[in-house]
Amino acid sequence: MNAVTKTYKQEGHLVHALRGVTVSLPRGGFTAVMGPSGSGKSTFLHCAAGLDTPTSGTVHLGEVELSQMNETRLTELRRDKAGFVFQAFNLIPALSIVDNITLPLRLAGVRPDRAWLEEIIRRVGLERRMTHRPSQLSGGQQQRVAIARALVTRPEVVFADEPTGALDTTTAAEVLGLLRQVVDTTGQTVVMVTHDPVAAAYADHVLFLAEGMIVEEMRSAPAGAIARRMSDLGRQMAAA
């Protein structure tokens, strides 16, 4: 991502959500994007994933440059190369768990690869829940279904926006452990937005956003060190 800006018009005035972000996210790595509410984290993720178009600047996903693409090509690219996990699990209530997981394949008109499907179901620990409905599962289990759905197309990158925002500490730890495992065992890339230092501690690379700019990058660190860095940055921003 190179010199990316994103400006929204809000009630007649301009909001600069991203102000010149240049960064490359390591392939096969787990990157956390941290920052206070309103710092541009979701906008960053949406631009990185081709869900939204920057006002200026360029974005590459793998080898391809997104800004030249029309909406149809972007939709295909997201479908083929990206998986998404959001704070709200966005499961379809009327579908069984297995049908929720394989939905992206059906939408793409692709036949599921049985071996891969079984492997991800095993990995997310949902073997005995396949015929259940989402409402019969706990929040943590539902988010694991959403992660399995994000993995089913074997995307190069999984984008997650506050994936543990609606979960308690214990189930959050399960979900984060699972994302960590995805990176470690399949070499897929995970980019996760969070405001929680405990969640960011699972990543091997932490970006800090403040007021639409990357103000700091850190190698993997324990939650305490990340939290201290966050509060130092908060104080610097307040003083500036």
The residue range among 8-16, 90-98, 128-136, 230-238 that interacts with ligand ADP, by the rule CB under 6 A, is 8-16
By the rule CB under 6 A, 164 interacts with ligand ADP: no
Closer to Mg ion at the Cβ: 42 or 141?
42
CA separation for the pair 229, 225 (Å, rounded): 6
Q: Which of 29, 38, 112, 125 binds ligand ADP (CB under 6 A)?
A: 38
DSSP code of residue 25 = P
Closer to Mg ion at the Cβ: 153 or 194?
194
CB of 179 to ligand ADP, least distance (A): 18
CA atoms within 13 A on the CB side of 142: 21
Q: Which of 31, 42, 141, 189 binds Mg ion (CB under 5 A)?
A: 42
Strands 205-210 and 30-34: parallel
Choose the contact partner of 37 out of ligand ADP, Mg ion, none; CB within 5 to 8 A by kind: ligand ADP
Give burial (CB, 10 Å; 0-12/13-18/19+) of 107. Answer: exposed
Closer to Mg ion at the Cβ: 91 or 209?
209
CA separation for the pair 34, 214 (Å, rounded): 10
Residues 6+ apart with CB under 8 A from 105: 111, 112, 152, 153
The residue range among 15-23, 39-47, 177-185, 205-213 that interacts with Mg ion, by the rule CB under 5 A, is 39-47
Q: Is the dihedral of CA 96, 101, 107, 109 positive or negative?
A: negative
CB of 53 to ligand ADP, least distance (A): 12
By the rule CB under 5 A, 164 interacts with Mg ion: no
Q: Which residues are at the interface with Mg ion (CB under 5 A)?
A: 41-42
